[in-house]
Amino acid sequence: MNLSRREALTAIGLLPAVANSAYAAALNIPSALPDRDNFPLEGTYLDAAYVHPFGRMAAAAATGYLDVRQGDPQGVRPGRNARNLATEKFAQLINASPEDVAVVPSTLEGENLVNASLGIGPGAGVVTDGGHYDGSLALYGELHRRGAPLGVVRPREGRIDLADVRALLTRQTRLLAVSLVSSTSGFTYDLAELCSLAHAHGALVYADVIQAAGAIPIDVKASGVDFAACGTYKWLMGDFGTAFLYVRPDRLDRLKRVQVGWRQLASYSSHALPFESPGPALGTYELSAGASGLFEVSTPAWGPLATVSASLQYVSAVGVERITRHRQPMLDQLRSKLPSAGFVPLTASGSSSPVICFACRDAKKRFAGPLQQEKIRISLYEHRIRVSPSVYNTMDHIDHLIEVLCDPRLALG
């Protein structure tokens, strides 16, 4: 499939939407999965949870963006870029309103901004869990050193028990911060249940959804979640350097502005130069409201936004439910076969997670070489593996992986 330049530019918001139908046709949405046409990969790639491959649609959008930048230095500018289209498509994916989504540099940047805006510190604490992202856990460790009350729930058999969460919530807990899908175990919260618990104790909920958005259905309105952030390079099939931050609109009055930049200016008038109207040398200005007015600071990564605009259209057209149905039998096959070879499941049975994780002693030492030789990519750790198939994978890929991992020559002596 080759997109025309016009179709690619339409996909990234640099041409009017009248060509959207042509672009949708050029997307070549498969009637059934797997989709090998849009993802012509070599080898066996089972590591989408680490970074999702570019599809042809994302590559075409990236090329279209570069064509514009090369051909016209001002072809991409504040009034002509993919930001609005990208936030619109992401908002549709999670059942949000576009005005409730801000663009930030990364998932963790979004989480830091939420904590700063809530004034997390002495007297305003956080509850999290040991399955949250490691960078986030370091964030809360540092905030605790600065006086913020902190409670950390320890996972038990790959799960987080809500009774353990409830036991740590206090009157000082201002935020409950979790990964909706844990990258280390695949544990997946019932987000509505979690939010109900937190709100009953006067706390707000932040969800890192980078391992969820695009992989499992998310409804931020139905769940009641207060904040959610997501980078674009995993299940949204985009690139590095940009992320979305959802803010529940009726929580904005609880947040303080912690950064200011030109993206937040609703208006500005200079009074310092000749012929300008009289006024203060500082100028006169008004700041914007809403999620973007609070959290967007300066020029965003318009290139990655252009790319994810196209990939989000693909995800929407294929459908998250169909992606989930395609993936599940492959995960079930791994759960069925690997335990007999000494792999201890870390992901709960019946999980809707897009990943499956196993503990295995000396996993990296034992399997790095054989997997590389067979051109198989998974997430491989010292004593753990993580497998994350996507739309391009087949059961043959899973069987190939199982054959390597269960090779009796690699068994522990």
Region 248-273: mean pLDDT is 97
Cβ–Cβ < 8 Å for 309, 89: yes
pLDDT for residue 241: 97
The per-residue pLDDT for 55 is: 95
Query: What's the confidence (pLDDT) of residue 408?
Result: 86
Residue 367 lies in a domain: yes
- Give the range of the structural domain holding residue 340, as residue numbers without chain letter: 320-406
Q: Would residue 376 count as lying in a domain?
A: yes
Q: Residues with Cβ < 8 Å from 106, sequence gap 6 or more?
A: 231, 241, 242, 243
Overall domain count for the chain: 1
The string over 141-152, giving b where at least 16 C-beta atoms fall within 10 Å of a residue's C-beta and e elsewhere, is eebbeeebbbbb
Residues 182, 291: Cα–Cα separation, whole Å: 26
d(CA 312, CA 57): 10
Q: Does 35 map to a domain? A: no
Q: Which two tokens stand for residue 249?
A: 């609109």
Round to whole Å and give the CA distance between 42 and 46. Answer: 12
Within a domain: residue 338?
Answer: yes
In a domain, 21, yes or no: no
Please give the torsion angle defined by the CA atoms of residues 189, 192, 193 and 198, in that order, rounded to the nearest 10 degrees.
Answer: 100
User: Which residue do the tokens 């200016």 mark?
Assistant: 265
Q: How far apart are CA 145 and CA 88, in angstroms?
A: 39
Q: What is the pLDDT of residues 94-108, one digit of tens each?
A: 999 999 999 999 999
CATH code of residue 393:
3.90.1150.10
Residue in 67, 203, 209 with CA at minimum distance from that of residue 132: 209
- Give me the phi and psi of 115, to 5 degrees please: -60, -45
d(CA 218, CA 96): 10
Question: Residues near 332 by Cβ (< 8 Å), separated by ≥ 6?
Answer: none
Task: Please say if the pLDDT value at position 380 is more than 50.
Answer: yes
Asked if the structure places residue 315 within a domain, the reply is no
pLDDT, position 7: 63
On whether residue 42 sits in a domain, the answer given is no
Per-residue pLDDT of 44-93, as tens digits, reads 999 999 999 999 999 999 999 999 999 999 989 998 999 999 999 999 99
* pLDDT 10s digits, 24-40: 445 678 889 999 999 99
- Of 284-288, 346-350, 380-384, which range is least confident? 346-350
Residue 413 has pLDDT above 50, yes or no: no
Burial group, residue 128, by CB count within 10 angstroms (0-12, 13-18, 19+) = buried
Q: In what order do the strands lie in the sheet with 384-387?
A: 344-345, 356-359, 384-387, 379-380
Q: Residues 141, 147, 151, CA angle at the centre, nearest 5°?
A: 50
Residue 1 reports pLDDT greater than 70: no
- pLDDT confidence tier of residue 339, bands split at 50, 70 and 90: very high
Residue 326 domain flag: yes
Assess whether pLDDT exceeds 70 at residue 305.
Answer: yes
pLDDT at residue number 384:
96
Cis peptide preceding 408, ω within 30 of 0: no
* Overall average pLDDT of the 221-241 stretch: 98
pLDDT at 29: 87
